[in-house]
Amino acid sequence: MKSKGLKRGFTIIELLTVMSIIVVLMGILMPSFAAIRRYAKAVKQKGAFHDIATGLEMFSIDFDGYPDSKGTLGTNPGPYNLDVDGAAYCGAIRLCEAMFGKDGFGFHPESRFTMNGASDSAGTINYYPKPITDENRRQRKHPYIDTDKHKTTRLSELYDVTQAGCAYSADPCETVICDVFSKVKGRTTGAKIGLPILYYKADTTKLGNDPNDDHFVPQALNIYDLRDNRDIDGLVVDGITGQSPLHFGITTPPVKSAAEVFYSVIRDKKFINASKPYNESSYILMSAGWDGLYGTKDDVYNFGE
């Protein structure tokens, strides 16, 4: 009768070899997995932009045009991008109100896009009296995009407005639509939330896309105005480094100004010999992308590929 031989196991050398191969393969594949995740997030953000685009078209039909991305100056001209009460009311905030209303109950036709529903400088009460009455609710347009698909948050949940050096001018109670990248923890909830979606409306009376154009003079010629969201460009997300999320300017060589970066990014690359922006007759939507910084290569827009 033949005895059964002992089963031969793996040697230490063989196990170490296999483990080394696995580690090498993981090192090769991990960047690919990360790239796939980033691509998937960008695709999801593009889908969110598509929903917002549908909402903006519906708004345009109801009100004969897209919502402006600048603040209302009222009867007394003052600093750029301030509403009639002197409070900052930039493109990202205006987009959220147009799509959802200031309180989520929908946009009111008599809105003057002022902070906290206050009266304007002429004493006219706008659409947002408190408490909200049934009549007020009946006058509202329903939200133009699905409130379950698009997260919103107050600016104060994103930014530490009390931090030294925080160039904050918008009301911390104002609400913005967040992107899908969820790069920031809410300051009170601790939940991951996205950064504001920036909104720029095209000025169809203008023809240019020149980074040297001076927007601080009435003769400015650019279709899009970089300053439309400047009221949140000094807000600080990272309390340790003091990094502002909106850093269009490049400070490392070759140094580029904010205008050079912005107008280069929105320039329609199909036209070589003309400085023509994308979406020259409508609007631009912008997400900070995976790295949580606006003005960098991974930003997501509602144009291009």
| Each residue's pLDDT tens digit, 124-171 | 445 555 567 777 778 888 899 998 889 998 888 887 666 554 555 666
Lowest mean pLDDT across 162-176, 240-254, 286-300: 240-254
Residue 236 neighbours by CB distance under 10 Å:
22
| pLDDT, tens digit, 9 for 90 and up, residues 253-284 | 666 777 788 888 899 988 877 788 999 999 99
Q: Is residue 205 predicted with pLDDT exceeding 60?
A: yes
Query: How far is it, in rounded angstroms, from Cα 111 to Cα 22?
Result: 61
pLDDT of residue 252: 58
Q: Which residue has the higher pLDDT, 65 or 102?
A: 65
Query: How far is it, in rounded angstroms, from Cα 253 to Cα 190?
Result: 37
Q: Is residue 95 predicted with pLDDT exceeding 90?
A: yes
Residue 305 C-alpha from the chain's centroid: 18
- Beta strands 198-201 and 283-287: pairing type? antiparallel
Lowest mean pLDDT across 21-25, 90-94, 176-180: 21-25
pLDDT of residue 100: 92
Q: Is residue 218 predicted with pLDDT exceeding 60?
A: no
Q: Where are the alpha helices (DSSP H) in the chain?
A: 12-63, 91-100, 134-138, 155-158, 258-265
Token duo for residue 15 = 């196990």
- pLDDT category at 78 given cuts 50, 70, 90 is very low
pLDDT of residue 49: 97
Contact criterion met (CB below 8 Å) for 290 and 41: yes
3-state helix, strand, coil in the chain (%, to 5): 30, 10, 60
Adjacent-strand bridge partners of 178: 196
pLDDT of residue 294: 81
- pLDDT category at 177 given cuts 50, 70, 90 is very high
Residue 117 DSSP label: G
pLDDT of residue 169: 60
Average pLDDT rounded to a whole number, residues 225-250:
57
